[in-house]
Amino acid sequence: MRVVIADDSVLLREGVARVLADEDLEVVAKAASPDELLGLVEAEAPDVAVVDIRMPPTHTDEGLVAAETIRRRWPSVGVLVLSQYTETEYALRLLEGGEERCGYLLKDRVLDAGQLADAVRRVGDGGVVVDPDLVTRLVGRPRSTSPLDELTAREREVLALMAEGLTDRGIGQRLFVTPKTVETHIRHIFFKLRLPETAVDNKRVHAVLTYLRT
């Protein structure tokens, strides 16, 4: 899998490249700015671009803007945004560009080589990744009364994994159950939370995250 990395800190850029290389991913190019990144994506046509959310010139959301541009202009290139913030708002913004080939991961994950490489692979394979910390917080936040209470423990697990962007297959592997069972759980969850059936196949991560944060 061919990967491009964008981060304005040279230490992290090299560090992440090394981690990914150790995990048998091919880092084909490294960029220090959004403009450089777009040029490299154009030239290298990588499978995945790993983009830091804070980049020059203002160090706010340039990385996210670049990610949105890549998704629009090169839909076959997956984008994994590494962020310093556990903000649902940013993840949702990314998901609004389509629920495939994208991920929003906390930057601290670079210290967990396996998790980072796994996320890159999932995005490269066309999947969605949402940082587990973010999902855990959303699922666990206190609610006065909530349909969430009606979910079984297993259903809650499935809900969290779904929010992390895992496919039915991926959820099944994690929980050691068949995709068929996962599908049943998901239908129950959607029914209990009164989420629209149409969201099951399309934009379900967005729907679940939106549900969880309100």
State which of residues 24, 76, 144, 194 lies at the interface with another protein (CB under 8 A): 144
State which of residues 1, 77, 81, 90 lies at the interface with another protein (CB under 8 A): 90
Do the Cβ atoms of 193 and 209 come closer than 8 Å?
A: no
Which residue lies nearer to another protein by CB, 14 or 183? 14
| 123 near another protein, rule: CB under 8 A | no
DSSP 98-128: -SSSEEEEEGGGGG-HHHHHHHHHHHHTT-E
| 138 near another protein, rule: CB under 8 A | yes
The two structure tokens encoding residue 60: 């706010």
| 11 near another protein, rule: CB under 8 A | yes
Which region, judged by CB under 8 A, interacts with another protein, from 29-37, 85-93, 173-181, 192-200?
A: 85-93
In Å, what is the CA distance from 113 to each residue of 19, 55, 125, 161? Answer: 6, 23, 18, 20
Q: Least distance from C-beta 187 to another protein, angstroms?
A: 27
Q: At what angle do helices 10-22 and 113-124 cross, to 10 degrees?
A: 80
Do the Cβ atoms of 53 and 83 come closer than 8 Å?
A: yes
Q: How many residues bind another protein (CB under 8 A)?
A: 32
> Which residues of the shown chain bind another protein in the complex (CB under 8 A)?
9, 11-12, 15-16, 18-19, 22, 54, 59-61, 84-90, 107-108, 110-111, 113, 137-138, 141-144, 213-214
